[in-house]
Structure formats: structure tokens, C-alpha cells
Amino acid sequence: NAGVTQTPKFQVLKTGQSMTLQCAQDMNHNSMYWYRQDPGMGLRLIYYSASEGTTDKGEVPNGYNVSRLNKREFSLRLESAAPSQTSVYFCASSLSGGRNTEAFFGQGTRLTVV
Amino acid sequence: GQQLNQSPQSMFIQEGEDVSMNCTSSSIFNTWLWYKQDPGEGPVLLIALYKAGELTSNGRLTAQFGITRKDSFLNISASIPSDVGIYFCAGQGSGGSNYKLTFGKGTLLTVNP
């Protein structure tokens, strides 16, 4: 019962470096999401994918790109990391909309940009 | 965009006490969800509410979907030390983005044994 799996769990980057955060779900969910969590800010949506082949911007998309590789996988890319992107990143998935909006979260990736 | 106001921001209580927290919004939501996050972990779904006025329990937890569809509350009865964590409300709105969730900023609960 893996659910939502994120890799890596921890990462330290230098300013300007790039990296991709990986996320995979094994629940046959249609929708996937990337959130960032900062102290006192709750969870803010970066990008989401309502279904395979579609992606849309969320609340805080600047500095990020995403790829919905297939139904299972949704990656988040930082092209040129900045200290403001130091955060905990969570991937989540849900079956779809309506009554199936219940989102299930991965364990998070703790990213520090120095 | 849609925003949720979650209160209180933090609570410090004694073991055995009851706890109440709530979320309000200026927008109508179709679904309310309550999550708990333990330190170093991702949020875990506690209760899902789908209908205005609905009252749902999960063990010592009880949550209600407000009649106006603009608020929800979560009660925890007889708190225990493992209730410590951050509790988030989340709402699903209507319209074109009806599969997205909006999260409150969380309530940090500390339980003193």
C-alpha cells in the first residue's frame, strides 16, 4: 500500500541549480497536485493536473514547471532554484472532482536552497 | 481566489479536555475536508463532509458542514497526547475548478499530559 510516493525526501540546492521532484501514485487517481508548505502559510497549490495530459497553474506557480508523465506520475521542476523556494513540497492525488476530491498526500520533500 | 480563515491558530490544552476549531469562508464550498499532519509527515485525511448540515464522527472526532456552506468545525473529545499535530480544513469549491482544494492555514494543537 504505497499510496503517494515522493522522491527525494530531503535535498539541498545551491542558488541557480535545477532539480526535479518526483511523485508517483498507485491508486489509479486521475488528479494530481503539488503544494508547498511554509510556516504560518498552510498549504499553497503550485500546479495541478486534473487528468492525464492536462496541467494548470495554482496559486503560486512562478519558478516552477510540471510534467504529467502518465496517469501515475507528476513531476515538479525547479529550473533555477532561489532561496525563496526553500520549503516542504507535498504531492497529492485524488480520484477526480465532485465527491472524489479527497486528496491523499505523500510524505513530502524538504528542500533547502542556499 | 477562495480563502479559508481557520481558527484558532494554536491551542495548548490539558489531556482529557475537549477541543474545537473552525473554518470560515466568504465563498460557498461543496465539500469540506479535515486533515491532521504529524511532524515530518504529510497531511492525513480525518473526515470528509459532502452535504450542508452534515455531522460526521470518526472516533473521538466530530465535524460538521455548516448550513450556509461557508463554514465547518471540528471537535475532538477527551484529548490524548497523540492528538498533537497541525489540523487543516480544506474546502472544494464550485465552478470550473471544482476539483481543487483550498486549505486553511492550520491549527497547531499541543496536548499537555
pLDDT(B16) > 60: yes
Contact at CB, B48 and A94, closer than 8 angstroms: no
Those residues whose C-beta lies under 8 Å from the C-beta of residue A110, and which sit 6 or more positions away, are A9, A10, A11, A88
Contact at CB, B105 and A42, closer than 8 angstroms: yes
Helix (H) or strand (E) holding A87: strand A87-94
Which residues on chain A are in Cβ contact (under 8 Å) with B54?
none
Which residues on chain B are in Cβ contact (under 8 Å) with A106?
42
A73-112 pLDDT per residue, tens:
999 999 999 999 999 999 999 987 656 678 899 999 999 9
Query: For cell 497529492, what's the residue?
Result: A92
DSSP code at position B95? S
Residue B96 region, left (φ>0) first, then alpha (ψ -120 to 50), else beta?
alpha
B25-79 pLDDT per residue, tens:
988 998 999 999 998 999 999 999 999 999 999 999 999 999 999 999 999 999 9
Contact at CB, B103 and A43, closer than 8 angstroms: yes
Check if the beta carbon of residue A4 is closer than 8 Å to that of residue A92.
yes
Measured from the Cβ of residue A39, the count of other Cβ atoms closer than 10 Å reads: 9
* pLDDT over 90 percentage in chain A: 81
d(CA B75, CA A18): 43
Q: What is the overall mean pLDDT for chain A?
A: 93
Rg (CA), chain A: 13
Check if the beta carbon of residue B19 is closer than 8 Å to that of residue B76.
yes
DSSP code at position A73? B
A6-64 pLDDT per residue, tens:
999 999 999 999 999 999 999 999 999 999 999 878 899 999 998 888 999 999 999 99
pLDDT(B98) > 60: no
Question: At B49, is the secondary structure helix, strand, or coil?
Answer: strand
Which residues, in sequence order, are bridge partners of residue B81?
A: none
